[in-house]
Amino acid sequence: MMGSVLVALTIFYNKKLKVHPSPLIAYICMCEAISCFNGFIWAVSSPYVICYFNLLWIFEATVHWKVPMNEPHHTFELLCLSNQLIFQYFQLASLFLNMCLCVDLVLTL
């Protein structure tokens, strides 16, 4: 995560590195970092992380809609599912950006 963020920040904060296709690599790094974070939560055990940080309570306190307090497992499931979906989304995004990088190389050369 730290490595990917380092690469992305170096590209975003340096004028010379902002030349195309470096921003594409920076976005790939960001996607990798986010998916890695979610993968890390999954590896630790997402239900355990939810309980440890009391994310159920934070979630219920911050959403607009009314969460049924007598059925906490729905919120629990939603958080687990969102972790999995974010992980899969950014993994696919990283893969597709990589594909774009290769296609861009072919088009540029």
Contacts of 56 (CB under 8 A, 6+ apart): 50, 72, 75, 76, 79
The site for another protein (CB under 8 A) is made up of 1-7, 10, 14, 16-17, 19-25, 27-29, 32-33, 35-36, 39-40, 42-43, 45-48, 73, 76-77, 80-81, 83-85, 88-89, 91-93, 95-100, 102-106, 109
Q: With respect to another protein, which residue has the nearer C-beta, 24 or 55?
A: 24
Angle (CA) 12-104-106 rounded to 5° is: 145
In angstroms, what is the minimal distance from the CB of 44 to another protein?
10
In angstroms, what is the minimal distance from the CB of 90 to another protein?
8
Report helix, strand and coil shares of the chain as percent, to nearest 5: 80, 0, 20
d(CA 58, CA 31) in angstroms, rounded, equals 25
Q: With respect to another protein, which residue has the nearer C-beta, 67 or 100?
A: 100
Residue 105 corresponds to which tokens in the numbers above? 């190389």
Q: With respect to another protein, which residue has the nearer C-beta, 58 or 92?
A: 92
Q: With respect to another protein, which residue has the nearer C-beta, 63 or 82?
A: 82
Residue 33, helix vs strand vs coil: helix
